[in-house]
Chains A and B, each alone.
Chain A
Amino acid sequence: TQLLEQSPQFLSIQEGENLTVYCNSSSVFSSLQWYRQEPGEGPVLLVTVVTGGEVKKLKRLTFQFGDARKDSSLHITAAQPGDTGLYLCAGKEYGNKLVFGAGTILRVKS
């Protein structure tokens, strides 16, 4: 099974600050997804990156896929309290199994 290392595990910041979450692996993934999950709810798909070097933007969120398709990052600009949640990266393994990172718990204080 391929492994995804996600960092940091916890992040507590003030409203307006910027942050970056990293997802790294020694293996190549065919695609990588980022999800956001609020307590008691299911993960909500934010983005899928497929091509090495790809950059996608979703309002204040910027997602990058490494050139070798082994790593990805999520950058949030000017974080807001509504960004609070658990952020999960997940890569596709054979058989369409999703390999999840350990998750990053983000808390944005107003």
Chain B
Amino acid sequence: DTEVTQTPKHLVMGMTNKKSLKCEQHMGHRAMYWYKQKAKKPPELMFVYSYEKLSINESVPSRFSPECPNSSLLNLHLHALQPEDSALYLCASSYTSAPTYEQYFGPGTRLTVT
């Protein structure tokens, strides 16, 4: 089973709202990732968690706040977003953060900021 699940599938939020994206995997993976993807472009890395600790933050604005409550769950808390933050947000996981392990992606959350 190589399934990564994400909820919700679609989200529309105003610029003053607070919302959260959720990601879950039950493959025993210890590395989890958040990516942002604009239409017809490759995914852009935002955050990497390794063994539930934040290991990479790609200079993401503070209006995006990641959280890894346990090894199976990854959240992305959103607050005061801008319309240009509208995108497909992808979660991925891999066995560990070592280069030999592939990343498996979830289906994504389509976020629209109005």
Contacts and interface: CB of A to CB of B under 8 A. Distances in A.
Main secondary structure of the interface of A (DSSP, over half): mixed
Given A102-B42, A103-B41, A42 B106 contact: yes
Given A102-B41, A102-B42, A41 B100 contact: no
Contacts of B98: 96
Contact of B105 (A31, A44, A93, A105): A44
Contacts of A42: 4, 6, 90, 92, 105-108
Contacts of A92: 99
A96 B48 contact: yes
Interface of B: 2, 4, 6, 31, 40-43, 45, 48, 55-56, 88, 90, 92, 94, 96-108, 110
Nearest to A38: B107
A44 to B, nearest CB: 7
Contact of B56 (A30, A44, A48, A95): A95
Contact of A43 (B40, B97, B105): B105
Given A45-B104, A96-B94, A30 B43 contact: no
A95 B55 contact: yes
A95 B107 contact: no
